[in-house]
Amino acid sequence: MLPDWFHAFPATPDKIVLPDLFTCPFCYTPHPLAAAAARQVQDYLSTRPDWAAELAEGKMFGVLVVKTGSGQLGFVAAFSGNIGGKGQHNYFVPPIFDITAPNGYFRTEERSISELNRQIAALESSTALRQTEERLLLMRRQAEEELGRFATLAKQHKAERDALRQQNLTAEKESELIRQSQFEKAERKRIERRWAAQMAEVEAEAAGIRSEIERLKKLRQQQSEELQTWLFNQYVVLNARGERKTVARIFADERGTEPPAATGECAAPKLLQAAFANGFKPVAMAEFWWGKSPEGEVRHHGAFYPACHSKCEPLLNFMLQGLGVEPNPLRKQAATELRIIYNDQWIAAIDKPAGLPSVPGKEHKVSAYSIAREMFPDASGPLMVHRLDMDTSGILLIAKTEAVFKTLQRQFATRAVKKRYVAVLDGLLKDESGTIDLPLRPDINDRPRQMVDYEHGKKAVTRFSVIARTGCRTFVNFYPETGRTHQLRVHAAHQLGLGCPIIGDNLYGSSAERLMLHAAGISFTHPVTGVETVIEAEVPFEIG
């Protein structure tokens, strides 16, 4: 008997061809059946007004097209995290491990930690601590005032003694002045000791409360770490070969680290776990966002997104073993021929193709740098003056000497270098031009994604102007005034920016044949000749 969270398709058109390989979860275009399944889930969500407020805040959902053991085609669905405080709802697959069971170990320990939080908060806001701290503050102020008055008087007495010493004093009078000076020094120390003793008594009262707060915080940290370790050993996931592994072991083996919080609660691993546990064959998968975008992140209502790297990548790498999976196009080797578009004795400029990293990485040994090193064997400089995202094509400057490299680096640092990018946006902009000012920082829970953060982000400014509009696309020039990672991509896609992701942006928009972003122009002062130098690179995709 099939579980009630298995959903058969009403009818599967004959013209839909099932994929030969399973979806690459990190870069994909949804298969038509996965898109159809997503629409059915979205229709179901509209029938749950009790969830409306929560879903309006935003949540990731996933669908997995499967074949049952008898060959029936259908799909299963999942959500990330919980809905309504629960991890289990009839329409969706069960969680890998249900932490929401009210009387389970996790909830019991969680309540214990919550009680510690309550005790810490009560002590930190207690009247006793507040009063002792206020008394200490008052005593310090009174001590400073008394010592200040004493210092003023002592200074006056010293001036009087200095004036008397200008006269012919007897030895007895000189001794009297010395005794007066010594007395005042000793009196100052007595005042300081008196206040120190009084404050030490009050400080001891406050220290006792603070010590209890610190003890409770250490206990809370210990219990939290033990609970997290226990939890990740309860998440046991399956792969296509029928093998089992805990989430803790998977991260230890692949990354040598502990899993991030909430690992195993995302939609993708829930879907695969349910399929493998019930003997279903995974056919295709897709994840979509429902609701408003989280503050700082780029998420569009109803849009499809790849699985996250921080929590899901190690799990999915294990779970998909034994299943034929589409190759990740992000790891596809790009063209390795670099066209030289400018070259002199000191500087060169190359036209980097999309898909080629600027410098070598863990997964990419061949890069623009390694190729340029072969193209310019006599160059003594570090070569790469700046970088482009792997998926961005266009102009890269090459410095052939150390001195030229440093000069160009200074020009970049002082924003003397002017750059122009051409992009194709998914959507129609109303404004003809403008400026985007959104500070950026890395999303530590999903690298390499970036997010907007007004408190901790670095300033990022981009000017833009529209070139043309066609259908539902806008062609723009971007003029970045800063050079943050993924700056143009986030500024284009974010709701506080243009709200129109760049075509082919698999991180902040949707996948396509390539990222439609090209570094088309750059201008700078030549480090040797002093001539204003302008370099242009032909745009490799159609404009307008």
Active-site annotation, residues: 389
Number of neighbouring beta carbons within 10 Å of residue 440: 23
Q: How far apart are CA 155 and CA 376, in angstroms?
A: 75
Assess whether pLDDT exceeds 60 at residue 13.
no
Q: What is the mean pLDDT of the chain?
A: 92
Judged by DSSP in three states, 202 sits in: helix
pLDDT in tens, 32-50: 999 999 999 999 999 999 9
Assess whether pLDDT exceeds 70 at residue 336.
no
Query: Which pLDDT score, from 0 to 100, does residue 294 have?
Result: 85
Query: Which pLDDT score, from 0 to 100, does residue 381 have?
Result: 76
Let me know: does 487 contact 421? Beta carbons within 8 Å: no
Let me know: does 276 contact 263? Beta carbons within 8 Å: no
Helices and strands (H, E) in the chain, number of each type = 11, 19
Angle, nearest 10°, between helix axes 312-319 and 247-254? 100
Assess whether pLDDT exceeds 70 at residue 25.
yes
Q: How far apart are CA 319 and CA 237, in angstroms?
A: 7
Assess whether pLDDT exceeds 80 at residue 250.
yes
Over residues 430-453, mean pLDDT: 92
Q: How far apart are CA 32 and CA 327, in angstroms?
A: 19
Let me know: does 398 contact 347? Beta carbons within 8 Å: yes
Superfamily, domain 333-536: Pseudouridine synthase (3.30.2350.10)
Let me know: does 411 contact 401? Beta carbons within 8 Å: no
Q: How far apart are CA 388 and CA 398, in angstroms?
A: 13
Over residues 506-511, mean pLDDT: 87
Number of neighbouring beta carbons within 10 Å of residue 89: 16
Judged by DSSP in three states, 5 sits in: coil
Query: Which pLDDT score, from 0 to 100, does residue 335 have?
Result: 59
Number of neighbouring beta carbons within 10 Å of residue 153: 12
Query: Which pLDDT score, from 0 to 100, does residue 362 have?
Result: 66
**62 or 15, greater pLDDT:** 62
**CA Rg value for the chain:** 33
Q: How far apart are CA 410 and CA 416, in angstroms?
A: 8
DSSP for 208-241 reads HHHHHHHHHHHHHHHHHHHHHHHHHHH-EEE-TT
pLDDT in tens, 314-330: 999 999 999 999 988 76
Phi (first) and psi of residue 244, to 5 degrees = -125, 145
- Which segment, 84-88, 96-100, 417-421, 468-472, is predicted with the most confidence on average? 417-421
Q: How far apart are CA 360 and CA 370, in angstroms?
A: 7
Please state the length of the chain: 544
In 3-state terms the chain splits into helix, strand, coil percentages (rounded to 5) of 35, 20, 40
Assess whether pLDDT exceeds 90 at residue 169.
no
Q: Which two tokens stand for residue 84?
A: 């309504």
Nearest to 72 by CA among 280, 272, 286: 280
Assess whether pLDDT exceeds 70 at residue 102.
no
Assess whether pLDDT exceeds 70 at residue 334.
no
pLDDT in tens, 178-237: 999 999 999 999 999 999 999 999 999 899 999 999 999 999 999 998 888 888 899 999
Could you tell me the residue ranges of all domains in the chain? 7-97+235-329, 122-230, 333-536
| Least trusted range by pLDDT, from 99-108, 269-278, 311-320, 500-509 | 99-108
Over residues 265-292, mean pLDDT: 97
Judged by DSSP in three states, 117 sits in: helix
